[in-house]
Amino acid sequence: MPTHTLEENGTHSMASVQSLTTSVHQRLADALSAALPDAAPADPLLRRSDRADFQANGILALAKKQKANPRELATKVVEGIDAPELLKDVEVSGPGFLNITVTDRAITETLAARAADGDRLGVPLKDAPGTTVIDYAQPNVAKEMHVGHLRSAVIGDALRGMLDFTGEKTVGRHHIGDWGTQFGMLIQYLIENPDELAPETDTDGEQAISNLNRVYKASRAVFDADEEFKERARRRVVALQSGDEETLALWQRFVDESKVYFYSVFEKLDMEIRDEEIVGESAYNDMMAETARLLEESGVAVRSEGALVVFFDDIKGKDDKPVPLIVQKADGGFGYAASDLSAIRNRVFEVGATTLLYVVDVRQSLHFRMVFETARRAGWLNDDVTAHNMGYGTVLGADGKPFKTRAGETVRLEDLLDEAVQRAAEVVREKAQDLTEDEIQERAAQVGIGAVKYADLSTSPSRDYKFDLDQMVSLNGDTSVYLQYAYARIQSILRKAGDARPAAHPELALAPAERGLGLHLDAFGDTVFEAAAEYAPHKLAAYLYQLASLYTTFYDKCPVLKADTEEQKENRLFLCDLTARTLHRGMALLGIRTPERL
Ligand code: ARG
């Protein structure tokens, strides 16, 4: 345990820790206000810097606005700062920048307070948390999952981890595709071939999806070849929509069988999916008519050629033609849009969402723009409730085209994940020294799945990325394996330390590599908050990668187990330990494991 915490010093009453950036920012802002008592509070624009710890760039613009001499103003600000415990040096540079160096003691004490705060590492909770409903991981019933579903699941899960950590309440919604005219064909086929999907026989996900694929293909073939079957299938759709019991029971079998399959894939993905959060398109069936009525009565939607539609002046489709949103088709049927509009009413008025977040392929962004605008006009979305679609980009193959098999088919997600784990096993086996075969397989799953997730999450969600397994499991570069090894190496050092315990010694002077690592460790909470607010998991990934790099530099430059004194050894072990815990926590927020040994 660290010997010092701010809490023990009585300067901090709660376990949460103010970051050095925030402390420095406050001092500067105060000094700025004192130097210019008549001006509105101004942002000192504090940034991390190579020349000192921080640089403040905000004085120039402020001086200009106040018609003051920037260097004079900067000097006045420096003279107004009195915080020797926090600041070692504040100097005016260039036309009016400030270079700021914090004291070694402030760094170590702040980190000690973080270390004393268990899992939260001193990161505060939001003052006014809201409720975010996240729509993610939404595969379709009776269909194979593909890389697009991978992205939604991985990004959604990471966003959820980060938002939860800030104190936001999150509710998941897996809006699975479990409704539509294709079920007429599937169910009718099952009625005519009842043994094709016997409920008791299926045990695992693989079996489930192969059954579903078989029924899908067979029914499609009859549907395309047999006009009379087509007609019976059409009537079956009507029976389904009107709630016919036998039809619904068969539909339920498709849903159940599909869930067995979904769960098996999510388990492979090392991702927890809760049954009560699987709320598919069909769950809103009972609300559809009411949704349509509300939209029609308020004039938001109008009848056009028998259909109920919403028009937009400013939303245009592909060829620049305005596209309407169809709430109800001329035959009375409701589709994808009516379900999403009903879901908004449910999520806002029943679940109590303050934010609606959708993690859906960018190719559906037009749909969501229209749905959100319709909901806004209807008053279901307003200033208190915001909706956002995190449209993500496409997963590309090595050739830079959308990811397909050589034969041009969609790649099955399970196959892809299995291959990633297999590749990871090769890497783990090569490096493993004292691992049993079981341990190798367990690590391989954590490394392989972590690699797939990290490759996705380290790219800005809106961008496309190449699915390149060789690169993903590489030990060099910006990969999860690199981060996992950094973590495992630290654990091994901590094990080797024997009786020596990690302990902070704020009285010690720090080497540059220790300061660099320490200041970065302190920025964890600020980074998570920023990444969560911007829905940008790649910012957290970049932070963790930099953390591992700074740790490597520290480890090269500063002997830990062979430090000069016992105090220095303890302090360096303390830095090692906090680095490991921060890596572990950060990776966990992204949904990635950090094995203790690799
Ligand atoms: N199931 C859909 C698909 O696979 C995605 C659903 C997205 N969510 C929503 N609320 N529309 O494309």
Which atom, in ligand 1's list, is nearest to the CA of 140? 1
Residue 235's Cβ-count burial label (10 Å; 0-12, 13-18, 19+) is exposed
Question: Does position 3 have pLDDT exceeding 50, yes or no?
Answer: no
Q: Reduced to 3 states, what is the DSSP secondary structure of residue 302? A: strand
Q: What is the pLDDT of residues 62-104, one digit of tens each?
A: 888 888 899 999 999 999 999 999 999 999 999 999 999 999 9
Q: Which of 10-19, 155-164, 306-315 has the highest mean pLDDT?
A: 155-164
* CATH top-level class of 420-589: mainly alpha
Cα(329)–Cα(363) distance, rounded to whole angstroms? 22
Q: What is the pLDDT of residue 562?
A: 96
Instruction: For the chain, give every domain's residue range.
Output: 20-107, 131-282+333-389, 420-589
Q: What is the pLDDT of residue 433?
A: 73
Cα(582)–Cα(282) distance, rounded to whole angstroms? 42
Which atom, in ligand 1's list, is nearest to the CA of 138? 1
For the Cβ of 138 lying below 6 angstroms from any atom of ligand 1, the answer is: yes
Strand order across the beta sheet in which 355-358 lies? 169-173, 131-135, 355-358, 386-389
Strand order across the beta sheet in which 307-310 lies? 302-304, 307-310, 325-328
Mean of pLDDT values over 393-412: 87
Q: What is the pLDDT of residue 259?
A: 96
Question: Does position 363 have pLDDT exceeding 70, yes or no?
Answer: yes
Q: What is the pLDDT of residues 515-539, one digit of tens each?
A: 999 999 999 999 999 999 999 999 9
Q: What is the pLDDT of residue 200?
A: 61
- CATH assignment, 20-107: 3.30.1360.70
For the Cβ of 175 lying below 6 angstroms from any atom of ligand 1, the answer is: yes
Q: What is the pLDDT of residues 203-230, one digit of tens each?
A: 799 999 999 999 999 999 999 999 999 9
Cα(88)–Cα(105) distance, rounded to whole angstroms? 10
Question: Does position 290 have pLDDT exceeding 70, yes or no?
Answer: yes
Mean of pLDDT values over 385-399: 94
For the Cβ of 140 lying below 6 angstroms from any atom of ligand 1, the answer is: yes
Question: Does position 6 have pLDDT exceeding 60, yes or no?
Answer: no
| pTM for this prediction | 0.94
Mean of pLDDT values over 27-51: 90
Cα(520)–Cα(550) distance, rounded to whole angstroms? 8
Mean of pLDDT values over 21-45: 91
* The token pair that represents 294 in the structure block: 């509300």
Tell me whether strands 307-310 and 325-328 are parallel, antiparallel or unpaired. antiparallel
Residue 58: CA atoms inside 13 Å, Cβ hemisphere, count? Answer: 16
Mean of pLDDT values over 311-315: 88
* For ligand 1, atom 8: residue with the closest CA: 175
Cα(328)–Cα(241) distance, rounded to whole angstroms? 14
For the Cβ of 340 lying below 6 angstroms from any atom of ligand 1, the answer is: yes
* For ligand 1, atom 11: residue with the closest CA: 340
Q: What is the pLDDT of residue 186?
A: 97
Q: What is the pLDDT of residue 594?
A: 98
Q: What is the pLDDT of residues 415-456, one digit of tens each?
A: 999 999 999 999 999 987 788 999 999 999 999 999 999 999
At 2, the pLDDT band (50, 70, 90 cuts) reads very low
Q: How far is the CA of 429 from the centre of ligand 1 (A)?
A: 39
**CB-based contacts of 392: which residues, under 8 Å, 6+ apart?**
151, 152, 155, 359, 360, 361, 362, 461, 462
Cα(587)–Cα(548) distance, rounded to whole angstroms? 12
Q: What is the pLDDT of residue 201?
A: 60
* The token pair that represents 519 in the structure block: 């200041």
Q: How far is the CA of 72 from the centre of ligand 1 (A)?
A: 58
Q: What is the pLDDT of residues 161-219, one digit of tens each?
A: 999 999 999 999 999 999 999 999 999 999 999 888 876 665 799 999 999 999 999 99
Which atom, in ligand 1's list, is nearest to the CA of 361? 12
Q: How far is the CA of 404 from the centre of ligand 1 (A)?
A: 21
Which atom, in ligand 1's list, is nearest to the CA of 176? 1
* The token pair that represents 169 in the structure block: 């309440």
Q: What is the pLDDT of residue 199?
A: 63
Question: Does position 14 have pLDDT exceeding 70, yes or no?
Answer: no
Which carries the bigger pLDDT value, residue 173 or residue 400? 173
Which atom, in ligand 1's list, is nearest to the CA of 367? 11
131-282+333-389, superfamily in CATH? HUPs (3.40.50.620)
For the Cβ of 360 lying below 6 angstroms from any atom of ligand 1, the answer is: yes
* The token pair that represents 266 in the structure block: 């999510």
Q: How far is the CA of 175 from the centre of ligand 1 (A)?
A: 6
On average, the pLDDT of the chain sits at 93
Residue 314's Cβ-count burial label (10 Å; 0-12, 13-18, 19+) is exposed
Cα(153)–Cα(144) distance, rounded to whole angstroms? 15
